[in-house]
Amino acid sequence: MPDRNESGPLHGRVVAVTGGGRGLGRSIALAAAAAGADVAIAYRESEAGAKSVADEARSLGAEADVHRCDVTDRDQVFAFVAAAEQRFGRVDGLVNNAGIMPETPFLETTPQEWDRVIATDLTAAFHASQAVLPGMLERGSGSIVSIASRLGQVGWPGVAHYASAKAGLIALAKSISREFGQRGVRANCVAPGVTNTDMGRTVMEGEVGRKRMAELPLGRFGEPEEVADCVVFLLSDASALLIGQTLNPNSGGLMP
């Protein structure tokens, strides 16, 4: 097993990632491990994927734990954070990554679907942030990074619930930062454009994706590893002056 990355920007830290068993969450967990962190990985359905991510993280020299967690259940979220704190002694960084994006015309969206998306994509971040904050405040340091979306900044037909939840994450990060910034806790967001994950490929491979590609100044979509690099930056001391901010790795699809 290779030595831990003792010069990495997250050396000696503990990072908890929700939705870490696949897609963007997988890349984030592995990027954190490569940067020197130990990782706690929460998953809901992809147990085999989460265990595979943990094995890869260990091969990088990190310690890794895996926990099944339905992020819409507050008790399960608090149990995940408590288990990570018990295993590693603390949680220095939280990545609110878990999310879903069903596509339904607005007038056909049921209250049940709306509630499910808001619970998964926004309220879960509220639960997780409340769970990690006491420990962070006690130590006087911590970084919370939530995965928002370009669609949370511009809105989009057919995904009003998703876009609304992602916009809420941006406001949540600003609010946490204003309340706790002077006590050493920073909260920020990363708002990717279309990214080459399972969710992103449903867009990339269709007519909408071809049209979107033609509009991108960079001329290509993003890779999950590139988004993960932004997350690691926000978790690290290199971003010490960034608080309540949103990074936009979107190939130029939105230039706020």
Contact 234, 142 (CB under 8 A): no
Residue found under tokens 């895996």: 66
- What six digits make up the tokens of 242? 């960034």
Backbone dihedral region of 196: left (phi > 0), alpha (psi from -120 to 50 degrees) or beta? beta
How far out from the chain centre does Cα 78 lie? 17
Q: What is the DSSP secondary-structure string of 25-40?
A: HHHHHHHHHHTT-EEE
* Cβ neighbours of 182 (radius 10 Å): 8
| Catalytic center residues | 162
Closest to 97 in 3D by CA, of 214, 36, 16, 154? 16
Q: What are phi and psi of 247, to 5 degrees?
A: -85, 145
Closest residue by Cα to residue 193 from 242, 231, 152: 152
